[in-house]
Structure 1
Amino acid sequence: MASESKDEVTLWKELLAGDKDAYTAIYGLHVKAMYRYGMSLVSISEDFVLDCIHDVFLEVWVKRDRLAVPDNIRLYLFVALKNRVLHLLKRQERPQMFVVQDNFEDLWSDPSAEDIQIQKEESVNNEAMLNRLVLQLPPRQQEAIRLRFVENMGYQEIGQVLDVNTQSANNLVFRAIEKLRGWIMLAFLVFQEGLF
């Protein structure tokens, strides 16, 4: 629980005791990150992801008398969300479509007006290229990259979400980075040679 504030653990304990305000506070602390993660898993619809998130929180509320305080609340909710999404996809026999976050600007703090003008010209092409390259990665590597660099999870947490050991999580991220680095270097060299 080192990565979580004592207040969040206290809120979780209050939620387990039936405190609706604590339930609402935990929801507020995690719903945006869960939404980003859910949308990165499936592109069926926003409503589908939101329904899955609400199902997770409903299940937490209904089963609160049987739950304990997890070692990592965010990780617990991410795994629960992933399991819910996969369960519904399997039950409904819908195709699973992995996607990458289309607009990374929503995930970072807004730059100043001056920075926007300067950075926008430099970053639009780079971001578009990186997004296209990430889409070329296998789905597991895409997910591992998102968990590592968008959700800032450690390799042990990534392993738990992906249901693999820590070394395998590390390998997934490393291989994805190596592929991206190679593709970016190739594109740079091709551009420098004036082929495009």
Structure 2
Amino acid sequence: MDKLDQSQSQRDEFYVNLGLAVRTLREDLPLLFTRDLNYDIYRDDITFLDPLNTFSGIQNYKLIFWALRFHGKILFKEISLEVFRIWQPSENVILIRWNLRGVPRVPWEAKGQFQGTSRYKLDRNGKIYEHKVDNLAFNFPQQLKSAASVLDLVAACPASPNPTFLWGPVDTYPSSWIAFYRAVRETLDREGYLLSQDGLATCS
């Protein structure tokens, strides 16, 4: 195979994998809290970033989504993610705008909506090597405020039947949302131990 044919073959592989990535993300994200992702579209050295956190490696990436599913089921009566839009600002980038809705298990009316953007970068073979979450905001009627971290989103939700939209230490506002934040954060902090347990990455 000459260089021209090899280059064309690589381009063909890129577009096949790009199409698979877009299709997989479109199917996976709305079911994020009910089943595991298809990790075939990601590289083993994938990096996850938000404004405050960085995690590298496919096992850490799997752990993030396992923790979200596990604690989401325990702490919320309803929790779901809706994909608003998928587009490509450039050939090797996939952008997804999403909205997260949740109803925590508390004895009063409490709902929250979080919006954000996931930016996926693809290598020359069309495999995702970086997932960055940004443009985070939580949204209540006539309220729209920014959040610093994807895990900090839950700290912004109503903590009582008479919510106040205050920023401060997580300990100040006990609620199911804060418990969710803490549980996910602690799970990720214990990754060295948890990743050694059989079956964790595929738990659903």
Normalised to the residue count of structure 2, the TM-score between the two structures is 0.28
* Larger strand share, 1 or 2: 2
Greater relative contact order, per chain length (Cα 8 Å cut-off, separation 6+): 2
Normalised to the residue count of structure 1, the TM-score between the two structures is 0.28
* Larger helix share, 1 or 2: 1
